[in-house]
Amino acid sequence: QWLKDPGPRNEKRTLFCDMVCFLFITPLAAISGWLCLRGAQDHLQFNSRLEAIGLIALTIALFTIYVLWTLVSFRYHCQLYSEWRRTNQKVRLMIPASRSPHPVPHSLLSAKLMKKSADETTV
């Protein structure tokens, strides 16, 4: 329902852009990390410790930035969704059936309230 809501489009556009970035950055980060570690391994075999340490530090920095971006982005979208749920609650009032022998017809407003809708919550 949040995606169908005609509310602010900026939030949905941000979610879409973050999902696209996540799909592109995840494989790139994995490949880059793997290449850096392979390079560090090769430098260690040729006794180039300084270059190997630099590549390991680069790998750690790369994955730290990736994990922090992922966590911050996920937290931001969870907060937006929680705020939307808090401010867009749909409540349906259930009026119990009358026990009198002659049922009293409900007004038009209460008849509309009694209609069942898939996106409403029963209270």
pLDDT at 100 over 70: no
Q: Which helix (H) or strand (E) element contains residue 122?
A: strand 121-122
- Cβ atoms of 52 and 40 within 8 Å: the answer is yes
Mean pLDDT of all residues in the chain? Answer: 81
Strands 91-92 and 121-122: parallel
Q: Confidence band (pLDDT; 50, 70, 90) for 19?
A: very high
Q: Confidence band (pLDDT; 50, 70, 90) for 57?
A: very high
Q: Where do we find the tokens 């850096």? A: 36
DSSP-assigned beta bridge partners for residue 121 = 91
Q: List b or e across 90-115, with b for residues whose CB sees 16 or more CB atoms inside 10 angstroms.
A: eeeeeeeeeeeeeeeeeeeeeeeeee
